[in-house]
Amino acid sequence: MAGPRPAARGDTVRAVATDEELMMQVQAGDDAALGVLIQRWRGPLYGFLHRRVEASATDDLFQDTWLRVVRSRGRFDPSRRFSTWLFQIANNLCRDRGRRLASWQRARAALARTAASAEEPRPLPPELALDVHERLGELPERLREVLLLRYFGGLSEPEIAEAASIPRGTVKSRLHAAVRALRAREEPVGETDGD
């Protein structure tokens, strides 16, 4: 995705600029180059975030990602792919948010345990069908993260390893485990192979 993109506002110079070249222009203070990058990556980044977190948090994380890009522009290395750097920022923001939510939920659960509760909530009936977003939400964070970076972020295994700060072998094993977990959910209860 680092190749040339269509020109923004008729700007022929930006029509042939790679993402990395545009980011170097952003480093030099060119706000228009940042606008081109945002337009180029709006769909892929927003789609990644929408699948990574609940819908209500997507807009905020999208904006936070671009704010972080601007604040960290001096640390961008033009020898690296911009897409990897962008998704690394977005992924780290999602992780941070997940940690904050988990901490908040633990505190809330501890408070709920101390309060007198009339009854336990009942689980949903198993016959309810789950959509893709819910299925992804059931995966452990470490599996969901690599699956989304690969199939919704379009990153290669080496790029995922870099964005998630994990070894490439771990990326492969987590991808395999995530796909296996999703496939296991597709099999109807009570059916077996070999009938």
Check pLDDT > 60 for residue 85.
yes
Residues of the chain with CATH 1.10.10.10: 128-190
Please report which confidence band the pLDDT of residue 14 belongs to, taking 50, 70 and 90 as the band edges: low
| Closest by CA position to 21, among listed 6, 37, 8, 10 | 37
Report the chain's terminal Cα–Cα distance, integer Å: 46
Q: By the 8 A CB rule, do 48 and 90 touch?
A: yes
Class of domain 1-115: mainly alpha
Residues making up the chain, counted from first to last: 195
Mean pLDDT of 138-158: 86
Mean pLDDT of 24-28: 96
Average pLDDT, the chain: 79
Q: How is residue 138 written in tokens?
A: 């059931």
Task: Considering only residues 95 and 118, tell me which one the structure prediction assigns the higher pLDDT.
Answer: 95
Q: By the 8 A CB rule, do 30 and 48 touch?
A: no
Q: Which CATH architecture has domain 128-190?
A: Orthogonal Bundle (1.10)
Alpha helices in the chain (DSSP H): 12-15, 19-27, 31-52, 55-71, 82-114, 132-138, 141-151, 157-164, 168-186
Question: What does the pLDDT look like over 35-78, one tens digit per residue?
Answer: 999 999 999 999 999 999 988 899 999 999 999 999 999 999 99
Mean pLDDT of 69-96: 95
Mean pLDDT of 82-107: 87
Q: By the 8 A CB rule, do 53 and 64 touch?
A: no
pLDDT computed for residue 111 by the predictor: 54
pLDDT computed for residue 135 by the predictor: 75
Q: By the 8 A CB rule, do 90 and 61 touch?
A: yes
Check pLDDT > 90 for residue 119.
no
Q: By the 8 A CB rule, do 132 and 170 touch?
A: no
pLDDT computed for residue 125 by the predictor: 42
